[in-house]
């Protein structure tokens, strides 16, 4: 949804979860997960993706883990 030529409204994961709660979607956090690449590994610049998942109460996985590299969870 474009508000102006210089501002674009973006809906992220938190917005989707809040809308789901408001509309009473069945969001099963126990079976949900978040995938990101900022996991706090030596090669990562930070761990914001991991922290984000923790704040939402979701399991966190790196994209490498989902591709089969179990050492990078």
Structure tokens at 60: 């966190």
Provide CB contacts within 8 A for 62, sequence distance 6+.
35, 36, 37, 39, 41, 72, 73
- Note the pLDDT of residue 14: 66
Mean per-residue pLDDT for 39-65? Answer: 90
For 57, other C-beta atoms within 10 Å of its C-beta total 11
- Note the pLDDT of residue 40: 93
Q: Has residue 2 got a pLDDT over 60?
A: no
Q: Has residue 29 got a pLDDT over 60?
A: yes
Q: Has residue 12 got a pLDDT over 50?
A: yes
């Amino acid at each position: 949804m474009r508000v102006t030529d210089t501002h674009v409204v973006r809906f992220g994961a938190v917005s989707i979860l809040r809308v789901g709660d408001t509309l009473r979607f069945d969001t099963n956090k126990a079976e949900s997960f978040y995938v990101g690449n900022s996991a706090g590994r030596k090669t990562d610049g930070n761990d914001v993706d991991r922290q984000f998942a923790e704040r939402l109460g979701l399991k966190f996985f790196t994209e490498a883990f989902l591709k089969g590299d179990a050492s990078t969870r």
